[in-house]
């Protein structure tokens, strides 16, 4: 029988843990803070902005809101980032995407210092993931024995991008073995597809990455033990393309004209063949915000360790 991977269950679990640890820090007089920067009035970004504010409140993280109009200059945007970089109350900064077209998004994320890049999208965070310098974070709740290998040992301050990190956590939560499995990632964006493929590699899966230039997507999907799709193309993944017993993670989000939210996967036909499948909504989405909260908490904890070297034992 097909099992549904309910992201809300994992998300609640992560949020509860975050709330407890935030409270513990508060007991030592330490507040955890997240900066949120929204430029313009993209409705999807505004929705995510509000959802993040609500989630912060729920776990006791203080949010600092920066809302700029769509015609704000690049310098004004950079000024906000620079002031967050030096503001001790702010442990992490999330920039909502997309930014207005005339603003170079890469330039903006690269201005966030790695220690506060809790969405993990800056070039240093991306590089550290690719170099296996930050993948230890995905083993925290998983295979602890790997921490004995030097490449998985925590040594630096950067964070894994929230959505792909959430996918890995969801797979772990539902007991999906990744080592030795053939994982097919559909989509190669910097925010989702590429970091997810690196994380699956760190988990020792055999990884194939497909994209718009892939000639025969069905061929690769038909050989996949795990399918992770992040394209935003409705019904791209159909039941006849996946193999019996595959694990299917739908990261895509598309809002239809009537407001319905759908993913990349033709849920009904794929569900008949998959062993595990995520719904949309209610799959990867809720876990993404939880990972942002957890990354922000870890940033605060790390700052305190750095300030008090004796605590590092």
The DSSP code sequence of 102-117 is TS-HHHHHHHS-GGG-
**Binding segment (CB under 6 A) for ligand NAP, from list 79-87, 101-109, 146-154, 228-236:** 228-236
Give 40 or 152: the residue with its C-beta nearer to ligand NAP: 40
* Interface pick for ligand NAP out of 91, 134, 231, 296 (rule CB under 6 A): 231
Strands 261-262 and 254-255: antiparallel
Q: In angstroms, give the least distance from the CB of 148 to ligand NAP.
A: 32
Position 120 contacts ligand NAP (CB under 6 A) = no
Position 288 contacts ligand NAP (CB under 6 A) = yes
* Interface pick for ligand NAP out of 37, 77, 199, 230 (rule CB under 6 A): 230
Q: How many residues does the chain have?
A: 313
**Dist. CA 160–CA 125, nearest whole Å:** 7
The answer to whether 262 touches 282, Cβ cutoff 8 Å, is: no
Q: In angstroms, give the least distance from the CB of 94 to ligand NAP.
A: 12
Q: Which of 10, 40, 60 is nearest to 288 (CA)?
A: 10
Six token digits for residue 223: 């050989």
Give 135 or 290: the residue with its C-beta nearer to ligand NAP: 290
* Interface pick for ligand NAP out of 22, 38, 138, 251 (rule CB under 6 A): 251
Q: Which of 203, 146, 118 is nearest to 169 (CA)?
A: 203
Position 211 contacts ligand NAP (CB under 6 A) = yes
Six token digits for residue 27: 């007991």
Q: In angstroms, give the least distance from the CB of 193 to ligand NAP.
A: 5
Report CA Rg, the chain.
19
Half-sphere exposure at residue 233, Cβ-oriented, CA atoms within 13 angstroms: 9
Give strand pairing partners of 4: 277
For 96, 230, 269, the CA distances from 263, given in Å and listed in that order, are 20, 9, 13
**Binding segment (CB under 6 A) for ligand NAP, from list 77-85, 119-127, 149-157, 248-256:** 248-256
Position 40 contacts ligand NAP (CB under 6 A) = no
Which residues 148-187 are close enough to bind ligand NAP by CB under 6 A?
A: 163, 186-187
Q: In angstroms, give the least distance from the CB of 95 to ligand NAP.
A: 13
Q: In angstroms, give the least distance from the CB of 7 to ligand NAP.
A: 8
With 0-12 / 13-18 / 19 or more C-beta atoms within 10 angstroms meaning exposed / middle / buried, residue 137 is: buried
Position 192 contacts ligand NAP (CB under 6 A) = yes
Give 53 or 146: the residue with its C-beta nearer to ligand NAP: 53
Half-sphere exposure at residue 88, Cβ-oriented, CA atoms within 13 angstroms: 5
Position 210 contacts ligand NAP (CB under 6 A) = yes
Position 227 contacts ligand NAP (CB under 6 A) = no
**Dist. CA 119–CA 125, nearest whole Å:** 9
| Interface residues toward ligand NAP, by CB under 6 A | 163, 186-189, 191-193, 210-214, 217, 230-233, 236, 251-254, 284-285, 288
């Amino acid at each position: 029988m097909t099992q549904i991977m309910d992201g809300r269950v994992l998300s609640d679990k992560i949020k509860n843990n975050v709330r407890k640890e935030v409270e513990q820090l508060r007991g030592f007089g330490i507040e955890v803070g997240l900066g949120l920067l929204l430029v313009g009035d993209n409705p999807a970004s505004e929705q995510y902005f509000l959802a993040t504010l609500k989630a912060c409140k729920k776990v006791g993280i203080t949010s600092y809101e920066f809302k700029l109009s769509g015609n704000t200059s690049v310098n004004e945007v950079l000024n906000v980032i620079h002031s967050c970089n030096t503001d001790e109350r702010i442990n992490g900064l999330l920039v909502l995407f997309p930014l207005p077209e005339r603003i170079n998004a890469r330039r903006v994320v690269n201005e966030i210092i790695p220690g506060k890049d809790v969405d993990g999208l800056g070039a240093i965070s991306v590089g550290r993931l690719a170099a296996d310098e930050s993948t230890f974070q995905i083993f925290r709740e998983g295979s602890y024995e790997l921490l004995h290998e030097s490449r998985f040992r925590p040594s630096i301050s950067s964070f894994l991008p929230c959505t792909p990190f959430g996918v890995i956590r969801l797979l772990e939560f539902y007991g999906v073995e990744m080592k030795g499995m053939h994982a097919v990632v559909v989509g190669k964006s910097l925010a989702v597809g590429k970091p997810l493929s690196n994380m699956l590699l760190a988990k020792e899966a055999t990884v194939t990455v497909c994209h718009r230039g892939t000639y025969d997507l069905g061929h690769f999907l038909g050989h996949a033990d795990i399918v992770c799709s992040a394209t935003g193309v409705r019904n791209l993944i159909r039941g006849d393309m996946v193999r019996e017993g595959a694990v299917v993670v739908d990261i895509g989000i598309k809002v239809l004209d009537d407001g319905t939210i759908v993913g990349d996967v033709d849920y009904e036909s794929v569900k008949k063949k998959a062993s595990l499948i995520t719904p949309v909504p209610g799959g990867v989405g809720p876990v993404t915000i939880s990972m942002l909260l957890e990354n922000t908490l870890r940033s605060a904890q790390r700052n305190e360790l750095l300030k008090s070297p004796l605590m590092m034992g």
